[in-house]
C-alpha cells in the first residue's frame, strides 16, 4: 500500500476526509470486540438513565470544529 501525504490539507479538510472514510466503512466488515460491545451497552444504559445530560452528535461535532477547526 502506498503512503499518502495529507500535510497539504487544512484541518477542516482532514476532518471531512475522516468523516467520509468513517461513513464508508461497512459495519459488518469491522465487528466490535466483546469489550467494545459491552462499552456500547454500558453507554446506552447510561444515556437511557440520564437522557437530559446527553448531547446531540451534530452539536458535538460542530463544537469540536469550532474549537479545533
Tens of pLDDT, residue by residue over 16-33, are: 999 999 999 887 778 889
6 vs 60: CA distance, rounded Å? 25
Whole-number pLDDT of residue 1: 80
Q: With b meaning 16 or more CB within 10 Å and e meaning fewer, what string describes 42-68?
A: eeeeeeeeeeeeeeeeeeeeeeeeeee
pLDDT in tens, the chain (69 residues): 889 999 999 999 999 999 999 999 887 778 889 999 999 999 999 888 887 777 889 999 999 999 997
Enter the pTM of the model.
0.42
Domain ranges of the chain: 32-69
Whole-number pLDDT of residue 8: 96
23 vs 61: CA distance, rounded Å? 15
| 43 φ/ψ sector (left φ>0, alpha ψ -120 to 50, else beta) | alpha
Amino acid at each position: 500500500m502506498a503512503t499518502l501525504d495529507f500535510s497539504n490539507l487544512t484541518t477542516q479538510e482532514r476532518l471531512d476526509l475522516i468523516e467520509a472514510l468513517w461513513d464508508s466503512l461497512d459495519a459488518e466488515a469491522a465487528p466490535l470486540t466483546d469489550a467494545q460491545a459491552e462499552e456500547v451497552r454500558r453507554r446506552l444504559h447510561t444515556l437511557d438513565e440520564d437522557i437530559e445530560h446527553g448531547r446531540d452528535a451534530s452539536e458535538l461535532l460542530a463544537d469540536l470544529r469550532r474549537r479545533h477547526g
